[in-house]
Amino acid sequence: MGDFTLQLKLTEEQDREMKIYTSYLSTEMILFGLRFAFSRCKAISGGYLLPGRKSIVKKETRMLSRSQADWRLRNWKSMIRSYRQRGYSYPTISRIKKQVRSYASKG
């Protein structure tokens, strides 16, 4: 087991916040948070981070033409199957359908 010293330049507020975290959280939890932050930073800098439902809905609908939107609505059961295979939740699928409907009616 070893000791680790970290030097950071912090504001007073950041210093207080850091003291709270280090006194409350276990070493395992601090490392977990650092791993998560590191992975997220890599994903952001790599340009492949698409977190959250809004990004998923945009990714699935932003390039649709009216005819594509109509086709998706006519074949919605197969689209649900496809979305579920990708791991999308039902609320996300519902939001996608709402957006597809708006593209189909805009035409």
Each residue's pLDDT tens digit, 48-89: 666 666 778 888 888 888 999 999 999 999 999 999 998 888
Tell me: pLDDT of 33 over 90.
yes
- The pLDDT of residue 14 is 95
Are residue 69 and residue 87 in the same domain, yes or no? yes
> What is the domain count for the chain?
2
Domain that holds residue 22: 12-46
Structure-block tokens of residue 86: 């990708």
Contacts of 64 (CB under 8 A, 6+ apart): 72, 100, 103
Average pLDDT, the chain: 88
Buried b (16+ CB within 10 A) or exposed e, 56-76: bbeebbeebeeeebbebeeee
Are residue 64 and residue 87 in the same domain, yes or no? yes
**pLDDT classification of 107: cutoffs 50, 70, 90:** low
Residue 5 lies in a domain: no
